[in-house]
Amino acid sequence: MDIMKFNMTNQVNKLLKVIIIVVSTVILAALTYNYFHNSLQNEARLDFNNRARLIKTYLNLLGSHVNSFKRDIEYSYHLESNNSAIHPGLQQLKNFDKNHYILSNDSENNLQVTLSGIGTADKALQLHGKEINTILKFSSRFNSIAASLPEITWVYYTSINKFLFVAPTINPDEYLFDEPDYQRNFWQEAQPENNPEHKQIITKLYNDAAGQGLMVTISSPVLLDNRFMGIVSLDLGLDFLRSLLISDLNSPLGESILVDESSFLVGKVEDFTIGTQIEVPDLADNTQGFIHADDKHWLITELVDGELWLVHVFENNKIIMASVIKSIPVWTILFITLALAFVLIKLQEAHKQVVELSRIDPLTGLLNRRGLYESIKQPVSFSKRHHNSWSVVIMDIDYFKKVNDTYGHNIGDEVIQEVGRLMNDIIRNSDIAARWGGEEFLLFLPDTNAQMACHIADKLLEAVSTQQITNNKLNITLSSGCAEAKADEPFDEVLKRADIKLYEAKEKGRNQNQR
């Protein structure tokens, strides 16, 4: 093997190693990113599903309180008769002004509830005494719910007969029930005209009439003697709704929001304007898998049938960035490993090159003496096992000292290089050529007897003798000796016999081969 072939093979092997390592690193980096990307999506989905389950459970619990009030009020009213007990609070109704009456809030009234209505106390007792008496019997229960669930702003009963019963208490100087209250969401959305099935509803977001800010209301219609008589309601303030949405995933991946059936915002952690509508993918799809739309990822689930949805949304570039950030530690390790692998390849290649160069003659690119001995071990062993013949040819440039003395060592080196090139061109692929030392060359010829070896040597002698070498157009000749190995004969013994034949060729006039 000459230096050029060695270098080419070395570069190809090195390139293949680099390609394999780089491709493997890129694949691992991509798999890492994909793992964290999927992991973030799975975390978001798990957090979303858990939060949706908790919110739904809690809203169902609050809804059950409202429905319980509804059923108990209806049942209690049905049991009312002329002989029913009169609630003490009924005697504490008094006129507040010429247009309103209230439940007295003096020290004798320890009900911790408020009742206010349109008209006079006497007229209200005359026309709606049974209904008011029924509602007053729930004073302690209303007050208990309001006290035990601080997230509830108000719990109240609104009658079609123009009065409101509410807990906790409201100062009548700050708020009295009035006709415009019938235009508020809690009434409009739950009354039979808009709710013919008399089902429980959750209202759109609206401003509280008593000044408690934005809220939504869970309401259920109350039917007394099969007639719509009022609505029992429970108010949830915006701050409470926001607390339901706070999650570790709100930043930087995205945010959770509550929307109604018309995609209007009901709840959001950040401030927003009432009546804000969100462009949300089809709510009716109601899938808990990811929806990809407008470069965003959406998670959507229904909380209250046809009325309230939980939505989690984050932009695609944010989850990409989050995945990249999470991947950086692993990527750093991969790229450090890649750099170390390159260093290792360099060291291995350098070591291999040093080893190979120690076996190759730098002037001709042929094997040196050490390289020859290492290269013939296997073919000699193979030939002995299979009883195959093999031969050795040793060659020497005739009158080489004269070339050096006449033309200088540079020309001498060119002569040696040209002989090496011719030798490498003529020998077979299975043959092994070496520069034995100085102006001497050696051929190891496997599966070759002495006659064939001499034929190869003659071809080489002829090629050299007919070639004008260097710019000085020198005519150079070779002398050679051939020897075929005997059974189990060591290489050095065969070499000695070939060397003797070389000596004979020189004695007989040079430019010839002897065997």
Q: Is the pLDDT of residue 2 over 80?
A: no
What 10-17 contacts at long range (C-beta under 8 Å, 24+ apart), as own/partner pairs, is: 10/349, 10/352, 10/353, 10/356, 13/349, 14/345, 14/349, 17/345
Q: Which residue has the higher pLDDT, 488 or 188?
A: 188
Q: What is the rounded distance in angstroms from the CA atom of residue 27 to the CA atom of residue 35?
A: 12
Long-range CB pairs of 115-118, under 8 A, 24+ apart, other chains included: 115/89, 115/163, 115/164, 115/165, 115/166, 116/163, 116/164, 116/170, 116/172, 116/175, 116/176, 116/177, 117/159, 117/161, 117/162, 117/163, 117/164, 117/177, 118/162, 118/163, 118/177, 118/178, 118/179
Question: What is the Cα–Cα distance from 16 to 6, expressed in whole angstroms?
Answer: 15
Q: How far is CA 362 from CA 365, 366, 416, in A?
A: 5, 8, 11
The answer as to CATH 3.40.50.720 being correct for domain 369-514 is no
| Rounded to 5°, angle at Cα 402 from 396 and 403 | 80
DSSP conformation letters of 77-129: HHH--TTSPPPGGGGGEEEEETTEEEE--STT-----EEEEES-HHHHHHHHH
Residue 89 is predicted with a pLDDT of 86
Q: How high is the mean pLDDT of the chain?
A: 86
Contacts of 289-298 with C-beta under 8 Å, sequence gap 24+, read: 289/45, 290/41, 290/45, 292/316, 297/41, 297/44, 297/254
* Beta-strand relationship, 152-159 and 163-167: antiparallel
Question: In 358-481, where does DSSP find H-type helix?
Answer: 369-386, 400-407, 409-426, 450-465
pLDDT digits (tens, 9 = 90+) for 152-180: 999 999 999 999 999 998 989 889 999 99
Determine the 3-state secondary structure of 296 from DSSP.
strand
Q: What is the pLDDT of residue 3?
A: 47
Residue 108 has pLDDT above 80, yes or no: no
Query: 375-394 pLDDT, tens per residue?
Result: 999 999 988 888 899 999 99
Bond before 196 cis per omega within 30 degrees: no
- Residue range 192-202: mean pLDDT, rounded: 92
Report the alpha-carbon distance of residue 313 to residue 262 in Å, rounded.
17
440: annotated active-site residue: no
Beta bridge partners of 208: none
| Strand order across the beta sheet in which 390-397 lies | 432-437, 440-446, 390-397, 478-484, 513-514
For 222-243, what is each residue's pLDDT tens digit? 998 788 999 999 999 888 888 8
State which amino acid sits at residue 307.
E
Closest CA to 206 of 232, 186, 177: 186
Question: Per-residue pLDDT averaged across 74-99, rounded?
Answer: 85
Backbone angles phi, psi at 441, to 5 degrees: -130, 155
CB neighbours of 30 closer than 8 A, spacing ≥ 6? none
Alpha helices by DSSP H, listed for 189-315, are 238-245
Query: Mean pLDDT, to the nearest integer, of 136-163?
Result: 91
Determine the Cα–Cα distance for residues 217 and 236; give it in Å rounded to an integer.
6
Q: What length is written for the chain?
A: 515
DSSP one-letter string for 173-223: TT----GGGGGSHHHHTTSTTT-TT---EEPPPEE-TTS--EEEEEEEEEE
pLDDT for 436 equals 92
Q: Judge whether residue 249 has pLDDT over 60.
A: no
Mean pLDDT over 132-143 rounds to 91
Question: Stretch 406-432: mean pLDDT, rounded?
Answer: 91
Which of 156-165, 400-409, 505-514: highest mean pLDDT? Answer: 156-165
* pLDDT score at 106: 62
Quick one: pLDDT at residue 288?
57
Cβ atoms of 273 and 25 closer than 8 Å:
no
Please tell me what DSSP assigns to residue 304: E
For residue 488, which amino acid is it?
A: D
Calpha distance 224→23 (Å, rounded): 77
Pairing of β 265-268 and β 513-514: unpaired
| pLDDT confidence band for 101 (50 / 70 / 90) | very high
Q: What is the mean pLDDT of residues 392-420?
A: 91
* pLDDT higher than 80, residue 336: yes
pLDDT of residue 211: 82
The percentage of residues in the chain with a pLDDT greater than 90, rounded to a whole number, is: 40
| pLDDT greater than 60 at residue 1 | no
Two tokens at 145? 């719910």
| pLDDT for 161 | 96
Q: Is the pLDDT of residue 322 over 90?
A: no
pTM as predicted: 0.61
Mean pLDDT along residues 321-331: 87
**Which listed residue (439, 484, 489, 493) is catalytic?**
439
Whether 7 shows a pLDDT value over 60: the answer reads no
Residue 318: is its pLDDT beyond 90? no
Output phi, psi for 294, to 5 deg: 55, 45
302: left (phi over 0), alpha (psi -120 to 50) or beta: beta
Segments making up each domain of the chain, as ranges: 1-357, 369-514
Here the tokens at position 462 are 């002829």
